[in-house]
Amino acid sequence: MGYEEELQSEREYVAGLYARLDNDRARVKAAYQAALGGTGETAMDRDNEVRARHREMKRLNVADYGLCFGRLDSVDGDVSYIGRIGIFDEFDDFEPLLLDWRAPAARPFYTATGAHPEGMRRRRQFLTRRRAIAGFTDEVFGRLGEDQGDVALLEALNAPRGEGMRDIVATIQAEQDAIIRLDHPGVLVIEGGPGTGKTVVALHRVAYLMYTQRERMERHGVLVVGPNPAFLNHIGRVLPSLGESDVVFATAGTLLPGLAATAEDTPEVARIKGSRAMVDVLKAAVASLQRVPEEPIPIGMKDVVVNIGPDVAEWARQEARDSGLPHNEARAVFREIVTYVLTERAIGRIGKGWMSRSDKQAWEDMRSGLVKDLADDESFIAALDALWPVMTPFELLAALYSAPERLAEAGADPSLHRADGQAWTVSDVPLLDELHDLLGKDGTEQAADQAGAAERAAEARYAAEVLESMVNRTDHMDDEDHLFATDMLFAEDLAERFEEHDQRTLVERALADRSWTYRHVVVDEAQELSEMDWRVLMRRCPGRSFTVVGDLAQRRSEAGARSWGQMLDPYVPGRWEYRSLTVNYRTPAEIMAVAARVLAEFAPDVEAPESVRSNGVQPWARHVTPDELPAAIEEFTLAEKDFAGTSVVIGPPGVPGTVPASETKGLEYDSVLVVAPERILADGPRGAAELYVALTRATQRLGVLHHEPLPAPLSGLAEPVGTAG
């Protein structure tokens, strides 16, 4: 059969898959609508049915385009089509018509080679346009000169960039697939230089885990942490395109519900706040709230006055601390001890001469009355607030920052002082999160918990009483009595009334609940996270299931990682896996050669990733004066309109018309213009890392504008021919 005949045959097969997809979609949509209006089941059953059908609808919807992207022919003559989702023939013993790319049987599509064909004879890759197959390439194992396996990959790499990262499900390479499918239940570190695909590999690993561990993952979901909102927006389409939506996206500044911090501290202050030593500072700040009075505090009770002396407060403080409860919740222990001592002393004075301690009932009756009096006594409440105040994390940290004497008392660095204690930064978020654990629930939260518990208990008692009365009715029935169906329905509805049904999506619930824990966490640009950031993330994932993505050579934060062991060994010592990606799929060799010279200057021990392609377009540099800069940037922007794809102008902070390199981390553009690299480098190692990031964002074209002589690593760049770009 010739190429055209085979192409037509493949088109017909894939058209049949789309017909089956459309039928399945219509069937599931009808079932979903029926579930929405369902009657007769319990609310929980209906809710579960609606959620299940909705998940299935989303799974089918993501496969609208690029449903099938290849096929495998085995040496035994078996043919398997590989695609975005699995489709089965329910009329033929559920034979697979299309294998999900994550299925074990689909793995050779990504891993088979001429040297190790894994029982395969041929790999065919489809070139698709929406729902249509435009063509295909074949890689026949064992035949020399017929290897066309890179055609689909190179077409994808050379295609103009659009809005957002694309999935690579059709072009996953063997080294990437090995990481995606790695059977490691704990922490996996994926390190790779710019363009190696570490981010998209991590996201495909999430999709793979959610496919292979669906039951374990779907109730708690996955958290993806990235460096900034632009990055999260860039990668936000990948997992939905793979059929996975139970994923929460966050930055380090949004991990605490109700706070979205974006401001950054100076590098030195960020380093101090990010150190694990801040835990001791925060503990000391909390301990300083637990005071012993210098002078006795008088409390009037009935006709006597009793004192909260230093001895009483010290005893109560020690008992409260020994309870192991967080500060706010331990106040109840402190109050109980103080109350006990005050009432004992008051009763001894009030009943002196007429009440014996042996008269236990009289003694307890009087104590009960005094306890009630204390509950409303303003001087007693004021004394408790002075000796053991209830605080929120925001109140305590703001008070700590704004008072140098408090910082000194807690053993903190004086540089943490600031006039506006509530001017929250990204580095404050892990400290606030730590204080949530140290302080515990405040009075409002405790009252809400108590009210909720009381309401649930009352509802349970009411339901039990009604159901018991129904049982009693059946016990006294004679032969002519009947228990009608309406009675049973009433009982069912009554029981259902007390079931709590949260109609929010998993993502909505997780974002609103600080105590929410995830089954898996992805951390991108992980080299930027501090020791305190890692404490937050470990709380969010008690099972310690992480995919950690980063490149130590690109670290810009003074609080970030110098090594992966520094951050991970305190939590998973000797139990984390390391994998590296070495091939640059994003950056052409012409551009990577320039970036590699910068890397060699500030990280001589780090080897730059090898580019998989060359595009023949040489990077250029042009000298401009400050007055000429705006026109030169505009010239670049206008020239880029003649090209498909995206472009960006990167420069030092504060230069009009540019964005800082830090805001482009993890992003990619067809064309990049770097402005004033000499000023970027002036920021020392941090600046060198930022210039390296800036140079490696481009997938096609790179230009440089400079005021002063080019830095040595860029000195080989030639002036552009004609207009910029």
pLDDT tens, residue by residue, 283-336: 999 999 999 999 999 999 888 999 999 999 999 999 999 999 999 999 999 999
Cα–Cα distance measured from residue 251 to residue 80, given in angstroms and rounded to the nearest whole number: 41
Per-residue pLDDT, 487? 47
Residue located via tokens 């060799």: 589
Query: What architecture does CATH give domain 187-256+514-581?
Result: 3-Layer(aba) Sandwich (3.40)
* 29 marked as part of a ligand binding site: no
Please, which pLDDT band fits residue 555 given cuts at 50, 70 and 90? very high
The reply to whether CATH 3.30.420.40 applies to domain 589-714 is no
**Residue 130 zone, left/alpha/beta (φ > 0; ψ -120 to 50; rest):** left
Mean pLDDT across 505-528:
94
Contact 21, 87 (CB under 8 A): yes
β-pairing, 297-301 with 247-251? unpaired
Residue 193 assigned to a binding site: yes
Query: Residue 533's pLDDT is what?
Result: 98
The H or E element containing residue 634 is helix 629-640
651 marked as part of a ligand binding site: no
Q: In the predicted model, what is the mean pLDDT of residues 143-163?
A: 61
The sign of the dihedral angle between the CA atoms of 345, 350, 353, 357 is: negative
Decide if 610 contacts 584 (C-beta within 8 A): yes
Return the structure tokens found at 562. 């110098």
Q: Show Cβ contacts of residue 486 under 8 Å, excluding neighbours closer than 6 positions.
A: none
pLDDT at 77 over 50: yes
703 is an annotated ligand-binding site residue: no
8 A C-beta contact, residue 290 and residue 320: yes
Q: Please give the distance of CA 198 from its chain centroid, rounded to a whole number.
A: 16
Q: For residue 8, name the pLDDT band (cuts at 50, 70, 90).
A: very high
Give the pLDDT band (50/70/90) at residue 241: confident
Separation between Cα atoms, residue 705 and residue 694, nearest integer Å: 13
- Which of 328-342, 490-504, 580-594 has the least mean pLDDT? 490-504
pLDDT at 475 over 90: no
Q: Decide if 225 contacts 252 (C-beta within 8 A).
A: yes
Contacts of 297 (CB under 8 A, 6+ apart): 307, 308, 309, 379, 383, 386, 387
Q: Which of 8-12, 366-370, 467-471, 552-556 tops mean pLDDT?
A: 8-12
Strands annotated E in 303-448: 304-308
CB-CB contact of 167 with 242 (8 Å): yes
Amino acid letter at 318?
Q
* Of 475, 485, 328, nearest in space to 392 by CA: 328
Is the pLDDT assigned to residue 188 strictly greater than 90?
Answer: yes
Query: Which residues in the chain are classed under CATH 3.40.50.300?
Result: 187-256+514-581, 589-714
Q: How far is residue 465's CA from residue 459's CA, in Å, rounded to a whole number?
A: 10
| 194 annotated as a binding-site residue | yes
Q: How would residue 498 be classed by pLDDT, with cut points 50, 70 and 90?
A: very low
Residue 448, pLDDT score: 56
pLDDT score for 486: 45
Report the alpha-carbon distance of residue 562 to residue 287 in Å, rounded. 32
What's residue 362's pLDDT? 78
Portion of the chain with pLDDT greater than 90, in percent: 65
**With bands split at pLDDT 50, 70 and 90, how would you rate the model's confidence at 454?**
low
Q: Specify the 3-state DSSP secondary structure of 568.
A: helix
Cα distance between residue 368 and residue 366, in whole Å: 5
198 marked as binding residue: yes
195 assigned to a ligand binding site: yes
> pLDDT at position 199, please?
93
Of 226-230, 389-393, 495-499, 711-715, the least confident: 495-499
In whole angstroms, how far apart are CA 268 and each of 265, 272, 435, 558, 696? Answer: 8, 6, 22, 7, 27
Q: How far apart, in whole angstroms, are the C-alpha atoms of residue 439 and residue 393? A: 7
Residue 250 has phi, psi (to 5 degrees) of -150, 160
Sign of the C-alpha dihedral computed for residues 448, 450, 453 and 458 taken in this order = negative
pLDDT 10s digits, 684-724: 888 999 999 999 999 999 999 999 999 999 998 988 865 44
Half-sphere exposure of 11 (CA within 13 A, CB side): 13
